[in-house]
Structure 1
Amino acid sequence: MTDAPFQFFDVEVLRTERLTPAVARVVLGGASVSRMASAGRDQRVKLFLPHPGQREPVLPDTERADWYDAYRELDPAVRGVMRTYTVRELRGEAGELVIDFALHGDEAPAGAAGATAHDTGADVHGDAGTASGPATRWARAAGPGDRISVLAPVQEENGGYDFRPPEGTDWVLLTGDESALPAVAGILESLPPGLPTRVWIEVHDPADRQDLPTKADAEIVWLVHGTSPTTTEAIRAAELPAGTPYAWTAGEAATVKALRRHLVGERGFDRRAVKFSGYWRRGASEDSPMSAADAEEEA
């Protein structure tokens, strides 16, 4: 895999931080992290986590071109737990990779279950549902020296990100839930000064709102699940800017599907100007037959 755009990296936890009641930041490091690349925005990587009792994740020979087939042949109870996450920040010179984990299920704040963490149904970007999934459990217990593996890009231009507004875009619309917060944050940081941007983010607790720095002309609306209008309802009632839009929306697949129908069918957005990603769906996990592509098709 030496010349591949994505390569495996062995990393360890340097430190952790609880950003909000339901979001934990894990800073990973290693001698090879400086070789990683990122397009910023909504850059994805694959994390491979150990099972309880393992010092590091069990993987096949990752130098093999058919590593994924070999991985699938391993016993699921033994092989590393694979989850997709968005890079919150890559600090190449410092040798640090920052990943934010949404924490839900057991030990999560009241009302938080159902967004991004479960065993009975986990998302594409992490875990989601009513009981803590393996990624959430790992992030809660993570401490300095804990080892994982990461499949990450080594080329800045790669197929692991989706936010690609075409030339001629006059304004940007962003939506997401907790699972999409790192991507929304990365996108906002990447936008040029003054670009009109409208953002709707749904969380399960007002305490999970975060500062989202940007140079764009951004209006950010925080919605609280169960007490605020849904994202689609809020956008349906909103007055949107004039001009040519580009929309990026991610989160639970059914929500993304409803929003895309509104933007294309009711607002008249060009289908090609709406990037939608079902990061997770209730009842499906990254260990199940539903892949990232399946989630997007469902949306």
Structure 2
Amino acid sequence: MYGRVVGTRWLTPGLLRLTLGGEGLDGFGMVDATDAYINVAIPPAGAEYGEIFDPREVRDSRPREQWPARRRYTVRRWDPELRLLEVDFVVHGVEGVAGPWAAAAREGTVLVFEGPAGGYRPDPEADWHLLVGDESALPAIAASLDALPEGALGVVRLVCDGPEHEIDLRSPGRLDLRWLHRTGSPSDADLLLDSLREIAFPRGRMHAFVHGEADEIRGIRRHLLIDHGYQRSEMSCSPYWRRHMTDEAWREVKRDFVTAMEDEVA
């Protein structure tokens, strides 16, 4: 499956929204999840195949250096009537693969992908909702806030690089929203966890979405399960990336990291 870029919009200095359309989306069907993601395929520079390709076929028939880089990106919004798909990309200059590709995308640029898939949606029966993360989780958190039941309490803690990296977040629910700003010090890794330690958690059943940097998420998960006694079934908790690791290096160890994280507090 593929889409062609029909619009680009910088939401912040580091967050770029691409709007995809075209005939390649004719078979697209959205899943019932606010963390729905697509698995994009970014070909290397000078790839010896066309802009529209089958990632599996390329892997089977081409040398490894020709394989596309695979990354997961959240579907921010899907308009089934207009057949338009919005995907937000975190861009850190020339770092990484997908970010620089997105920054260079222009009208007509093709994005090949598979999916969508997903597993989280705010539970309408929960008494309150906790949503915690960084820029990598922001699209899913924003989509989840759109889906909160009217009047439902959403406690949101987000970390970013400064005020210019904040975006306007709205919801039918009641928001307790706080942005936390990195300073460049080692203590940045504790911002989210420390902010949760300051919260007087509301009574009732919580449903949580906690996604972002691996070690930060691991600490928050431990805090919710051990210090507050919540159950694993009450939260969606996953590491998207890991500090000081490239995407490729993280992908190689992620499975073992997640297994160790889950075994730590079963």
Which TM-score tier does this pair reach, normalised by the shorter chain? 0.7 to 0.9
Q: Which stretch shifts more, 36-45 or 207-216?
A: 36-45
Amino acid at match of 1:194: G
Amino acid in structure 2 at the alignment position of 1:18: W
Give 1:142's match in structure 2, choosing from 99, 105, 115.
Answer: 105
What letter is aligned with 1:141? A
Structure 1 counterpart of 2:86: 98
Query: Counterpart of 1:63?
Result: none
Aligned to 1:64: none
Match of 2:8 in 1: 16
- For structure 1, which runs of at least 5 residues remain unmatched after alignment? 1-8, 61-66, 107-131, 154-159
Which of 35, 48, 64 is equivalent to 2:41? 48
**Cα offset, 1:32, TM superposition:** 3.8
**What SS is found at the alignment partner of 1:35?**
coil
- Structure 1 counterpart of 2:35, one-letter code: D
Counterpart of 1:5 in structure 2 is none
1:77 deviates by 2.1
Which AA in structure 1 matches 2:29? A
What code does the residue aligned with 2:166 have? R
Displacement of 1:179 in angstroms is 0.3
C-alpha displacement of 1:57: 6.1
Q: Distance in 2 between matches of 1:92 and 1:168?
A: 27
Shift of 1:248: 1.1
C-alpha distance in 2 between matches for 1:152 and 1:291: 23
Alignment of 1:63-82 (within 5 A): 67=56, 71=59, 74-82=62-70
**Distance in structure 2 (CA, Å) of the matches to 1:240 and 1:293:** 31
Question: Does 1:276 pair with 2:237?
Answer: yes
Q: Could you say which residue in structure 2 is the equivalent of 1:232?
A: 193
Shift, 1:284, TM fit = 4.7
How is 1:182-193 mapped onto 2 (pairs within 5 angstroms)?
182-193=139-150
Mark the runs of 5 or more structure 2 residues left unpaired by the alignment.
262-266
Matched to 1:140, the amino acid is A
Residue type at the aligned position of 2:51: E
RMSD of aligned alpha carbons: 2.4
**Corresponding residue for residue 74 of structure 2:** 86
2:20 pairs with 1:28: yes
Measure how far apart 1:162 and its partner are.
2.6
Cα 1:97–1:240 shift into 2, 3 Å: same
Relative to structure 1, is the Cα distance of residues 83 and 219 closer, same or farther in structure 2, using a 3 angstrom cutoff?
same
Q: Distance in 2 between matches of 1:291 and 1:185?
A: 28
Off by >6 Å, runs of 4+ in structure 1: none
- C-alpha separation between the residues in 2 aligned to 1:73 and 1:252? 35
More helix by share: 2
Deviation at 1:147, TM superposition (A): 1.5
Name the CA distance, whole Å, in 2 between partners of 1:136 and 1:251.
17
CA gap of 1:199–1:243, structure 2 versus 1, over 3 A, is same
CA distance in 2, matches of 1:201, 1:31: 36
Residue-pair matches, total: 253
TM-score under structure 1 length normalisation: 0.77
Q: More displaced, 73-82 or 200-209?
A: 73-82
Aligned to 2:155: 198
RCO comparison, higher one (Cα < 8 Å, 6+): 1
Contact 2:35/2:121 (8 A) holds in 1: no
Aligned amino acid, residue 41 of structure 2: F
Offset of 1:266 from its aligned partner?
A: 0.8
Contact 2:148 2:171 in 1 (8 A): yes
In structure 2, the residue matched to 1:256 is 217
Q: 1:75 to 1:59 in 2, by over 3 A?
A: farther
Residue in structure 1 matched with residue 264 of structure 2 by the alignment: none
- Return closer, same or farther for 1:287/1:44 CA change in 2, 3 Å cut-off: farther
Quick check: 1:176 aligned with 2:133? Answer: yes
Alpha-carbon spacing, 1:57–1:203, altered in 2? closer, same or farther (3 Å): farther
Deviations 1:163-202 (A, max 9, x none): 2455742111000100000000000001110111100010
Amino acid at match of 1:232: L
Amino acid at match of 1:27: T
Q: Which amino acid aligns with 2:106?
A: G
Q: Does 1:246 align with 2:240?
A: no
- Secondary structure at 2:82 match in 1: coil
